[in-house]
Chains A and B, each alone.
Chain A
Amino acid sequence: MELSGLTIRNFRNLASLDLELPSAGVVVLGDNGQGKTNLLEAMYYLVLFRSLRGAKDRELVRFGEEAFFVGGRANGGAFEVRAGYESAGRRKKISLDGNPVTRISDAVGKILAVSFAPSDRGIVAGPATGRRRYLDVLLSLAEPGYLARLTEMRSALKQRNAALRRGRGDEARAFDEPLASAGARVLEARTRWVERWSPRFGALTAALGERAEARMRYRTHRPPTADARSQFLDLLASHESRDLRRGMTTAGPHRDDLELSLEGRELRMYGSAGQQRTAAIALRLVEAETLRDSAGSPPIALYDDVFAELDEDRQARLLNLIHETLPGQAIVAAPRESEVPASMLDRPRWRVKGGRVAA
């Protein structure tokens, strides 16, 4: 997978860019705050049609403007993805090869990329929300139907919670069925993925130089059995009085966690900063391998200033893994050339300043 052309209008501090990208990718240089990260965020917007950093669409519109636009030509022009957003109507328009898509999920994952950033450590060190989001993004891109089920689960959950806040058990119960049907599929997909990739996560963490054994485990109320739907229905029924008291649905996949551990100790609480950073990189590599396996070709790799914070040994180990897993297009951003590994410098340089890009 590669991005061959990129058009940006009024996205964060990027006013107007029309860029051609070589197959190998580029090295993006520029001081912080000039637009490097925004450029990577704009590229990733074409993957998910949401901000990689969790920002709201209206926050992505350039100051003083009313709309932004990002368009990308992929694989030498084989297909084209465009996304636009207007603040006034809060309207998002997405098209594939010029045809508007009605459901965003139809366009999600047409372009595939994996983004590495120092803030990824927050996935490991932060609250469960970040780890669920990691799983949800990954599965939305890798598994057909996952995003649609997740969206259904969320709408059912919103309705059920609103009913609970109104103190109406009968109304809440009416939404148990759609919540359980969609939720069961979400739960199954998540547990299946974690089971399958946990050993690989351990192997990658080891290959990055971590000596203790790393594992991931999906933490849920009850691991799903053959009939996850009726199991979830039972769970909802048994929690109903508590849910009514709290005014929210207290059990379900929306409360689960992806537990990451080293020698059985949770990385979130007991890992050192270095161990957390290593685990975060391993998560991104597992993500890359998952996407590669589902799409049949490696995703685009976006590196936002990730090499400088690794010591020489880890950097060398990471480069080996990247060479294997992500041999395709790479967009390597850093403040200075000296902070880019030598083996990645064989790409054209772009210099970003004040939202402009000079080749």
Chain B
Amino acid sequence: MSVIAELATELAKLPGIGRKTATRLVYHLLKQPAASVERLALALQAVTRSVRACSTCGNLTEQDPCEFCADQRRDAGLVCVVEEASDIDAIERSGEYRGVYHVLGGHLSPLDGIGPDDLRIGSLLHRVGNGAGIREVIVATNPSMEGEVTATYVRGALDGHGVKVTRIALGLPVGGDLEYADGVTIARALSARRDMGG
């Protein structure tokens, strides 16, 4: 395979990028000044070398603990559980949330071979159980079927841990991802969160 085809193949693996777009991107890059393409290559390298998961919450970060876990002004008694690290950006967009996070790393999907053990549910239970003073867990998984199922599973797993569990009230159409919701919608969904009982 030529290097051009090789790069196109790699780019085509990205979400939302088909083979055609990937090829177009490669030719676009080849028309740019070499220095600018090299900056892109360096940035890619830097990202893969220095970004890792926060050992507390699973957020993707250069420093461990991440900026949210390290921030003393944040309320460590309030934990918002999200599917992906990218969902944190969406919640932050609301400008209303002052607690910390916990990233599951996906949702339950037996079809894709993802069970509870493949998600960071164990580390959530550990966080809640180790006397860090967590009062409330807000489950902010997506409003898709898998997201709801995952929320229910997390709720069940937290049973008997003496913590309040709430579910974000997403007024989004079912299947709509958190990632694409605007700040106002998320602020509303957070303030209208409901108790999941238990």
Contacts and interface: CB of A to CB of B under 8 A. Distances in A.
Interface of A: 88-89, 152, 155-156, 158-160, 162-163, 165-166, 168, 170-172, 174-175, 177-178
Interface residues of B, number: 16
Nearest to B19: A88
B111 interface: yes
A177 B152 contact: yes
A159 B110 contact: yes
Given A171-B108, A174-B152, A159 B116 contact: no
A168 B110 contact: yes
B148 A159 contact: no
Interface of B: 18-19, 108-111, 113, 115-116, 145-146, 148-150, 152-153
Contacts of A89: 18
15 contacts: A88-B19, A152-B145, A156-B145, A159-B109, A159-B146, A159-B149, A163-B110, A165-B110, A166-B110, A166-B113, A174-B108, A174-B152, A175-B110, A177-B149, A178-B148
B111 A162 contact: yes
A171 B19 contact: no
A313 to B, nearest CB: 52
A225 B15 CA distance: 45
Given A168-B110, A174-B153, 8 more contacts: A158-B111, A159-B110, A159-B111, A166-B110, A174-B150, A175-B149, A177-B149, A177-B152
Nearest to B175: A103
Contacts of A156: 145
Interface of B is mostly: helix
B145 A168 contact: no
Contacts of A174: 108, 149-150, 152-153
Given A155-B145, A159-B146, A178-B149, A170 B109 contact: no
Contacts of B148: 177-178
A163 B145 CA distance: 15
A162 B149 contact: no
A219 B19 CA distance: 48
Given A159-B109, A166-B110, A171 B115 contact: yes
Contacts of B109: 159
B117 to A, nearest CB: 9
A165 B113 CA distance: 10
A163 B115 CA distance: 8
A68 to B, nearest CB: 19
Greatest chain B CB density within 10 A among A165, A171, A177 is at A171
Contacts of B153: 174
Contacts of B146: 159
Contacts of B152: 174, 177
Contacts of B115: 163, 166, 168, 171
A162 B110 contact: yes
Contacts of A162: 110-111
B94 to A, nearest CB: 25
A9 to B, nearest CB: 20
For the complex of A and B, the 9 pairs showing the least CB-CB separation, nearest first, are A162-B110, A163-B110, A162-B111, A174-B149, A178-B145, A174-B153, A171-B115, A171-B110, A159-B110
Most buried by B among A88, A89, A155, A162: A162
A177 to B, nearest CB: 7
A158 B109 CA distance: 10
B5 to A, nearest CB: 16
A159 B144 CA distance: 13
Contacts of A172: 110
B116 A171 contact: yes
A166 B110 CA distance: 8
A160 B145 CA distance: 12
